[in-house]
Amino acid sequence: MMSASSLPQSATFSPETIAEIERAANEGLYKIRGFGTLRPLPSFDDLVLLGASISRYPLEGYREHCATDVTLGTRFAKKPIELNIPITIAGMSFGALGVNAKRALGRGASAVGTSTTTGDGGMSEEERSESKILVYQVLPSRYGFDPDHLRACEAIEIVVGQGAKPGGGGMLLGQKITERVAQMRTLPAGIDQRSACRHPDWTGPDDLAIKIQELRELTDWEKPVFIKIGSTRPHYDVQLAVKAGADVVVLDGMQGGTGATQEVFIEHAGIPTLPALRQAVEALQELGQHRKVQLIISGGIRSGADVAKALAMGADAVSIGTAALIALGCNGSVHIEDYYALGTKPGACHHCHTGRCPVGITTQDPVLESRLDVEEGARRIRNFLTVLTMEAQTLARACGKSHLHNLEPEDLAALSVEAAAMAGVPLAGTDWIPGKSRH
Amino acid sequence: MIEVDLARSSVRTLNERLHHLTPRANELHWRVLNPAGAHNIAVGITQRVDVEIKGHVGYYCAGMNAAATVVVDGHAGTGLAENIMSGLVRVRGNASQSAAASGRGGFVVIEGSAGARCGISMKGVAIVVGGSVGHMSAFMGQAGTLIVCGEAGQDLGDSLYEAEIFVAGTVASLGADCIEKEMTQDAVEHVAALLDRAGITANANRFRHYGSARRLYNFHIDHASEY
């Protein structure tokens, strides 16, 4: 007689697939959740940096300087923003996040001289006061959009799409639409908020160019204008963003997180950060705009190694969202009974959409939110950003670089054929880049 | 009266002068000559000034206006008075698509007709259109009032939140979750007051009232066909 564990199971209809079909049949709704992709994808882990030896000369770890500063918006803006480190905090809305989380992110980022970004729903007073360098998003929904906030920010980011749901609009479920969030967005409290996927007043790159001019006119050409896109066809989208007049392109890979969207979107739309970055850099180089139009890459950046590899591939800066929330305490092993109540556990929670965040980050519930101490959260953000920077510097010095931006593709090798093809760097131990001629 | 001739000056110069006005400024009346369809004219004004534009304008004229009165003596391109906060924007002719898009307050009067998506994502603005509006007007309208004295194109008020729509003529079709509602006496008076303020003559009793059925406010499988 066969034991239960040795019974043959279908690879196509695995137990997880059967469970999902049963759930869909019972509930009649697609699955909505937060966080980002759960399945394995090619990533920066598939690349390694080639430290110096005899053919290259390393820098001394504690004595020789490796600069980290970056200036964003040098193309047209009168007042580009200057960051001490090339790691920024990605756009996340007040609404998706509680106010304490926004304050902690702002305070921690400001402590190390970098920027934070607003999100769908507008700019809160707390966020403005905590963030010395604040990027204000212009989204399709225009929820809470206010020209006074355009004047008050340091840079403007037109959001065309994001990596978790390229081509889709935002979503904030009713349990997070409190009176304050509703008032900021001019919505009835408690409804499931839908966001448009297209902007209301422009429809293509030619329109976008005029839209950018409008934003520049309103702010007297002072502020850098970023354009954020999800990674699907980055070669074309980056070139069109440049043509439309962007100062900075923000490219969000498939691993980028979200507060809430359909799971089918998170797992099945867009391309991973690795190939998207390579295509974006090539697109800028084709136009002669690499390093003139700055490129910020996001989507699954977790460590200083990721930062160093992204910069070596040609990014000017990176942006972090999920990793920053984890630094704040997301998925931490506290209040475990509240994770269980959500049907999850620390380390596996992706229930941002429920508004019942056990650690008080992605919630509007005052009791839950009180679990996040702003000063402690800011300290953790500052520490995390500092560690990312020091790790990236460590690797850059080992490659003989006196500035993080001196890292280059020649400093990289790939550990898999797939990663070599996607990143456009040689497979380790060879001079072979799949898809490119050796000569 | 200050005259700015865009045949001799630039939109940048005009906007810069308008932006530098203070609440105590004496330059309260402006006339813009030869706009020639230029984009972004009179964007982002924040003071109580009158700006009269003698001719046709391009995209985003009077965009994000606050407090000012801007009159276009001609036709207007895409995104007229987009995200208007307060004040008045009037167009003597027609307006292209996305007029008063995402407007949060103020008053927009289009004496002629408006193109597609008039009042899209409106958030409190009052809009009066003397003629007709194109398809998807008031799409996702959250608050405010859209009055159309002529006809409305397809999918009027699609995915509507709490904005209210009044149309005197025929409506090609209603969008998802938009329904006809009772034309109460309060509604008649509301329409009459806005028509009067717009200076447009029409019988408020002839208008029909449209609003949200609120079936899409919370996701529910029984309403999946509306998505």
DSSP string, A184-195: HHT--TTS-EE-
Full domain range(s) for residue A308: 39-329+372-423
Interface A–B counts its CB contacts (< 8 A) at 103
Distances (CA, A) of A187 to A76, A178, A201, B142, B143: 36, 10, 20, 7, 8
The reported pLDDT for the residue numbered A29 is 86
Query: Is A33 part of any domain?
Result: no
Query: Is A3 part of any domain?
Result: no
Task: Inspect the interface and report whether the beta carbons of A192 and B142 lie closer than 8 Å.
Answer: no
Tens digit of pLDDT for each residue in B43-88? 999 999 999 999 999 999 999 999 999 999 999 999 999 999 999 9
Res A439 pLDDT > 60: no
Band of the pLDDT at A354, cuts 50, 70, 90?
very high
Query: Is A386 part of any domain?
Result: yes
Interface residue B85 vs chain A (CB under 8 A): yes
SS3 content of chain A, % helix, strand, coil (to 5): 40, 15, 45
Query: Is A8 part of any domain?
Result: no
* Spatial CA neighbour of B221 closest among A26, A264, A352, A171: A26
Domains present along chain B, CATH in parentheses: 2-226 (2.160.20.60)
Tens digit of pLDDT for each residue in A106-124? 999 999 999 999 999 999 9
Res A220 pLDDT > 70: yes
Question: A149: helix, coil or strand?
Answer: helix
Interface residue B66 vs chain A (CB under 8 A): yes
Residue type present at position A399: C
Res B225 pLDDT > 70: no
Band of the pLDDT at B227, cuts 50, 70, 90?
low
Q: Is the separation of the CB atoms in B14 and B4 below 8 Å? A: yes
Query: Is A409 part of any domain?
Result: yes
Report, as an integer, the average pLDDT of A91-113: 97
Interface residue B121 vs chain A (CB under 8 A): yes
Residue pointed to by tokens 């167009």: B91
Q: Which CATH number do you get for residue A136?
A: 3.20.20.70
CA distance A202 to A132: 31
Interface residue B3 vs chain A (CB under 8 A): no
Task: Inspect the interface and report whether the beta carbons of B58 and A210 lie closer than 8 Å.
Answer: yes
CA distance B145 to B159: 15
Query: Is A70 part of any domain?
Result: yes
Chain B: residue nearest A192 by CA? Answer: B218
Overall number of domains in chain A: 1
* B156/chain A closest Cα distance in angstroms: 15
Cβ-Cβ contacts under 8 Å, B146 against chain A: none
Query: Is A349 part of any domain?
Result: no
Cβ-Cβ contacts under 8 Å, A210 against chain B: 39-40, 58-60, 78
Task: Inspect the interface and report whether the beta carbons of A191 and B218 lie closer than 8 Å.
Answer: yes
Nearest to B140 among A188, A196, A213 (CB): A196
DSSP string, chain B: -EEEETTTS-HHHHHHHHHT--TT-S--EEEEE--TT-SSTTTT--SS-EEEEES-B-TTTTTT--S-EEEESS-B-TTTTTT--SSEEEESS-B-TTTTTT--SSEEEESS-B-TTTTTT-EEEEEEESS-B-TTTTTT--EEEEEESS-B-SSBTTT--S-EEEESS-BS-B-TTEEEE---HHHHHHHHHHHHHHT----GGG-EEEEE--TTSS--GGGGGG-
Interface residue B83 vs chain A (CB under 8 A): yes
User: What's the angle, vertex CA A432, arms to CA A426 and CA A433, rounded to 5?
Assistant: 60
Query: Is A292 part of any domain?
Result: yes
* A323/chain B closest Cα distance in angstroms: 30
Provide the token pair at A215: 């934003």
Helix axes A304-313, A273-286, angle to 10 degrees: 30
Provide the token pair at B156: 């009027």
From the candidates B6, B45, B46, B123, which should be mutated to test the interface with A, based on the most A CB atoms within 10 A?
A: B123
* Spatial CA neighbour of A352 closest among A344, A342, A343, A362: A362
pTM value is 0.96
* Spatial CA neighbour of A362 closest among A100, A182, A168, A38: A100
Sequence-ordered list of residues with C-beta below 8 angstroms from that of A351, at least 6 positions apart, any chain: A33, A34, A342, A343, A344, A357
* Count of other CB atoms within 10 angstroms of residue A303: 16
Nearest to A217 among B43, B121, B216 (CB): B43
Average pLDDT, chain A: 95
Q: Is the separation of the CB atoms in A43 and A301 below 8 Å? A: no
Provide the token pair at B67: 């407090």
Report, as an integer, the average pLDDT of A149-168: 96
The reported pLDDT for the residue numbered B224 is 65
Report, as an integer, the average pLDDT of B117-144: 98
CA distance B227 to B222: 11
Nearest to B78 among A29, A207, A221 (CB): A207
* Spatial CA neighbour of A276 closest among A299, A260, A245: A299
Nearest to A187 among B43, B117, B142 (CB): B142
For residue A261, the cross-strand partners are A33
Cβ-Cβ contacts under 8 Å, A28 against chain B: 221, 224
Length of chain A: 439
Complex ipTM tops 0.90:
yes
